[in-house]
């Protein structure tokens, strides 16, 4: 297994696993950053080439504002320069919305699409609510006290998960930021991601935590739009990959293996 962290033009991109293996690009959710995928990276990189990166506004790029189009183009750059142009794409929450729009624009580069905890479509009333929450979060993030509270709450959450100490440490030391959560809400509000998902012609999987109720309410409609299978992670909430990392990782591996088999048969 090879592991390397690229700096310079590709700062915040990490590539782990055999050079000749099937490639999976993971797109993180907001408040977190690429380190939220550490449990999946550690388990999958024996068999797959795992690529994680920081979106604008997060992790190594926390000084930037989050904008949807730059995030999509960052994902495109990662696939072009670190995945030889094609990969399976796995997105969580905000990362799922970025992945959906990316797959609509560049479907030929996506071997398969996994959308985790991103089934709700932020249009209509939900779009207005998403925008309002985003604006409130941006304002709240101007308070250092609130940002510190955000870090404290998320650090406590990570420490309560069934994760190895070194993985907890990696995620916690990378930090948590409220501001891009608000910026992301403003950016995605009113965008019809379900139509973007429906336009993707390749294999797809919808994953939701059992107790992620907002996403679960939209689960069937979302999966039907993308002709996707559904996997529910028992005992998990919104951050399903950290709540039940083994079940989540197994679901991703099964999907990639299945999509790879179908592709080989074609």
Confidence of residue 7 (pLDDT cuts 50, 70, 90): very low
Q: Which two tokens stand for residue 189?
A: 């509000």
The residues that bridge with 6 in the sheet, in sequence order, are 13
Average pLDDT over residues 98-125: 98
Which pLDDT score, from 0 to 100, does residue 145 have? Answer: 98
Confidence of residue 230 (pLDDT cuts 50, 70, 90): very high
Which pLDDT score, from 0 to 100, does residue 263 have? Answer: 53
CB 175 within 8 A of CB 62: yes
Which pLDDT score, from 0 to 100, does residue 9 have? Answer: 42
Which pLDDT score, from 0 to 100, does residue 262 have? Answer: 60
Confidence of residue 11 (pLDDT cuts 50, 70, 90): confident
pLDDT in tens, 19-73: 999 999 999 999 999 999 999 999 999 999 999 999 999 999 999 999 999 999 9
Which pLDDT score, from 0 to 100, does residue 261 have? Answer: 63
pLDDT in tens, 63-100: 999 999 999 999 999 999 999 999 999 999 999 999 99
Rounded Cα–Cα distance for residues 260 and 96 (Å): 21
| Residues 6+ positions from 166 with CB-CB distance below 8 Å | none
SS3 content of the chain, % helix, strand, coil (to 5): 55, 15, 30
Which domains, ranges and CATH numbers included, belong to the chain?
Answer: 3-123+192-265 (3.40.50.1820)
214-220: long-range contacts, CB 8 A cutoff, minimum separation 24:
214/120, 215/117, 215/118, 215/119, 215/120, 216/119, 217/120, 218/119, 218/120, 218/121, 219/119
Question: Residue 3 above 70 pLDDT?
Answer: no
User: What's the mean pLDDT when you consider all of the chain?
Assistant: 94
pLDDT in tens, 164-194: 999 999 999 999 999 999 999 999 999 999 9
Q: What is the largest CA-CA distance in the chain?
A: 56
Q: What is the pTM of this model?
A: 0.94
Which pLDDT score, from 0 to 100, does residue 166 have? Answer: 98
Which pLDDT score, from 0 to 100, does residue 238 have? Answer: 98
| Residues 6+ positions from 261 with CB-CB distance below 8 Å | none
């Amino acid at each position: 297994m090879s592991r390397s962290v690229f700096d310079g033009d590709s700062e915040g991109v990490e590539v782990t696993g055999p050079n000749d293996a099937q490639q999976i690009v993971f797109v993180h959710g907001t408040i977190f950053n690429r380190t939220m995928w550490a449990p999946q990276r550690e388990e999958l990189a024996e068999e797959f080439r795992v690529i994680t990166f920081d979106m604008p506004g997060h992790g190594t790029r926390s000084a930037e504002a989050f904008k949807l189009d730059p995030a999509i183009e960052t994902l495109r750059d990662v696939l072009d320069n670190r995945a030889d142009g094609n990969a399976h794409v796995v997105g969580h929450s905000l990362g799922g919305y970025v992945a959906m729009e990316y797959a609509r624009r560049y479907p030929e580069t996506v071997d398969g699409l996994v959308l985790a905890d991103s089934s709700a479509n932020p249009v209509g009333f939900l779009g207005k609510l998403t925008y309002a929450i985003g604006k409130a979060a941006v304002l709240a993030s101007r308070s250092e006290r609130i940002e510190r509270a955000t870090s404290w709450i998320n650090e406590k959450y990570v420490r309560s998960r069934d994760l190895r100490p070194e993985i907890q440490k990696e995620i916690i030391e990378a930090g948590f930021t409220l501001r891009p959560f608000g910026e992301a809400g403003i950016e995605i509000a009113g965008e019809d991601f379900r139509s973007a998902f429906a336009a993707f012609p390749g294999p797809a999987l919808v994953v939701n935590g059992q107790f992620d109720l907002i996403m679960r309410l939209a689960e069937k409609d979302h999966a039907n739009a993308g002709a996707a299978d559904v996997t529910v992670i028992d005992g998990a909430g919104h951050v399903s990959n950290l709540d039940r990392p083994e079940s989540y990782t197994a679901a991703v591996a099964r999907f990639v293996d299945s999509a790879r088999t179908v592709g080989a048969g074609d």
